Structure 1
């Protein structure tokens, strides 16, 4: 049986709104952050997934954990959407997609994908069974504990968008054991 204080912590986490999680992950204390930019090409979605998987391992989340599987599925969908729908330059020009992870142990993990398009994504409520697209954000909505999108501002106005998804982590993640190094 969980101690009473642990139940209160879990209840407090589940009562938070999406924007409250995102505010903590974006601006809170004790947040670990990493980011990478990848070239906006469909063949690079796997590179984003490998980056995220490796970072989750470094943070001590076990590879066989349901949370890791959910995060990897969501990052695949968000990066694919950014590559397919977020390009603003001609195909012969280089363009990048940003992937950022924010982690507060025992609280939440956030993933953010940025691209250069100012078009905010919308969930297709019920994609037709024969549709070849339109399911990505349905999966993001189902697998994450919340998501949102917002324009990114720059010196010359809107310069794209950021799509955030977050995952609650009420149990503290253990750091991986360090193996002794041979001399």
Structure 2
């Protein structure tokens, strides 16, 4: 019997990076809505996927990538949003580094160049990328076509090689768990 409910597996796809000098050992990709919930989900999915790969939440790579993802996803929904268009989250682990990428649909709105310094005292934005610069070993952006831009950051350091099951079922379970998580209420 075929269900009329779409499978969450349709939004997940493995990805190889053809422009990379070394082949990725592990990768994860998902499309998310350009909403506050989508940005929150991106951060949670990075933590959960690294956990599925055997990286503890307290490991410096996890802490850095979760903070970076929070900022890049917030920027995507604030500055890179086009009505009705999603953003993509991509997490790729290489032997010596892990890379997070956020792709949005506003190639006309580029971030300032990495290492450009702090914004002026009267500026109302731009400080989040200072945090990305502090957490990342390197970061930047690229426009791969005329419809999208990708902001990426890499964190150096090997992560544990004890890789847990990262098949489509595990990734779909991570998406479901992260999207149904209710944050605790403060009293």
> Do both share a fold (TM > 0.5)?
yes
Instruction: Map 1:25-174; keep pairs closer than 5 Å.
Output: 26=20, 28-89=22-83, 94-105=84-95, 107-118=96-107, 119-122=109-112, 125-129=117-121, 131-153=123-145, 158-169=146-157, 171-174=158-161
Secondary structure at the counterpart of residue 61 of structure 1: coil
2:117–2:130 CA contact under 8 A, matched in 1: yes
**Relative to structure 1, is the Cα distance of residues 127 and 115 closer, same or farther in structure 2, using a 3 angstrom cutoff?**
same
Bigger Rg, which one: 1
Task: Please give the per-residue CA displacement for 1:119-157, whole angstroms capped at 9, x wherever unaligned.
Answer: 22115622345644211111111110001101121xxxx
Matches of 1:152 and 1:174 in 2, distance apart?
A: 31
The question of whether the paired residues in 2 share the 8 Å contact of 1:25 and 1:31 is answered with: no
8 Å CA contact retained: 1:25, 1:102:
no
- Are the counterparts in 1 of residues 24 and 92 from structure 2 also a CA contact under 8 Å? no
Cα distance change, pair 177–37 in 1 and its aligned pair in 2 (3 A) = closer
User: Which TM-score applies when normalising by structure 1?
Assistant: 0.71
Aligned counterparts of 1:60 and 1:114: Cα–Cα separation in 2? 26
TM-score (norm 2): 0.70
How many residue pairs match? The answer is 146
1:72 and 1:81 map into 2 onto residues whose CA distance is 14
| Structure 1, gaps ≥5 residues long | 1-22, 179-183
Change (3 A) 1:177 1:49: closer
Measured after TM superposition, the shift of residue 57 of structure 1 is 0.5
Q: How big is the alpha-carbon RMSD for the aligned residues of Structure 1 and Structure 2?
A: 2.4
CA distance in structure 1 between the aligned counterparts of 2:18 and 2:159, rounded to whole angstroms: 16
Distance in 2, matches of 1:30 and 1:65, equals: 20
Asked if 2 retains the 8 angstrom alpha-carbon contact of 1:120 and 1:151, the reply is no
Runs of 4+ in structure 1 off by over 3 angstroms are 23-27, 128-132
**Partner of 1:50: helix, strand, or coil?**
helix
